[in-house]
A = this chain, B = another copy of it.
Amino acid sequence: MNLMQQIKTEPGHFYAVGVGPGTADLVTFRAGGLIHSADVILAPRSRIADKSLALEAAKVFLGKDQEIIEKVYAMNRNESETNDFWETVAGEISAWVKAGKSVVQITIGDPLLYSTSHYLLESLSGRLLPESIHVIPGISAFQAVGARFRESLTIQQGRLMVMPATDLEQVEQALDHCETLVLYKAGRLINQLVDLLERRNLIDCAHIACYAEQPGREFMSTDLREAKDGKYGYMATVIIHIRRQKWGDSV
């Protein structure tokens, strides 16, 4: 099986590569091959983490003589600071690419779902030709969590909604407009979320997990109440099976 060896970066190209939830075996062969053959690897890391989660997941794929750059990303959500940060990074990346190097940015999950790749792709779009920019999808946290619970996320005419749990009113609205609701970053509002789901009689339809598929860190529960008072941390993912479709329903 030399599928991974067949996949190589091209000189003068940039790749935003998703490495999935955090374990090497949920990386795709394409991602593995690109990481292995890149000249430069860019690994964003949050200010609070002591190492890059993406780099941990990708380390078995690293090649020889690679430039590995960890960038500490400010998560403070200030527009101009964020833009300045990514403009600077994009400047460095495009200099590498224009010098004929291949550059891979690795990120946890999927680069198009709540990812820092967004900012880099935006900043690079004015600097590089579109055909030299590539995005490689990865397994997102909600897929990993769903798989651990072994329950379908959506079937037939079902609507799946994915959103961060930052605004409780919006979460309540969402309950009326989909069959399955996935909430990211559910830790901060967890007590209010438990109250809401108890009031709506949905508490038994909700599951919670944190760090799914991250070796040694994962925890999960079918009882959201166990996660009260932030016990499961800020990054928890909640899946709510709101209503089960019947045959022939157009919802």
List the interface of chain A (C-beta within 8 A of B): 1, 3-7, 20, 24-30, 32-33, 36, 60-61, 77, 79, 110-115, 117-118, 121, 130, 133-140, 143-144, 146-148, 150-164, 166-167, 170, 173-174, 177-178, 247-248, 250-251
Set B28, B113, B146, B178: member contacting A25, Cβ < 8 A: B28
B26 touches A20 (CB 8 A): no
The 3 closest A-B CB pairs, nearest first, are A137-B143, A25-B30, A79-B247
Other A-B contacts than A135-B146, A159-B162, A161-B161, 13 sampled, CB-CB below 8 A, are A1-B36, A3-B25, A25-B33, A26-B28, A26-B30, A27-B28, A77-B247, A110-B153, A114-B154, A114-B158, A137-B146, A160-B162, A167-B251
B161 touches A160 (CB 8 A): yes
| Chain B residues within an 8 Å CB radius of A166 | 157, 250
Minimal beta-carbon separation of A218 from chain B (angstroms) = 14
Minimal beta-carbon separation of A99 from chain B (angstroms) = 22
Q: List 20 A-B contacts (CB under 8 A).
A: A1-B5, A26-B28, A27-B29, A28-B28, A77-B156, A112-B143, A113-B143, A114-B154, A114-B158, A121-B152, A130-B150, A135-B146, A135-B148, A135-B150, A137-B144, A157-B163, A159-B163, A163-B178, A173-B177, A174-B177
B163 touches A158 (CB 8 A): yes
* Given A25-B29, A112-B146: A60 and B3 interface contact (C-beta under 8 Å): yes
Minimal beta-carbon separation of A134 from chain B (angstroms) = 8
A112 touches B161 (CB 8 A): no
| Chain B residues within an 8 Å CB radius of A7 | 25
A29 touches B33 (CB 8 A): no
Q: When chains A and B are docked, how far (Å) is the Cα of A133 from the Cα of B150?
A: 8
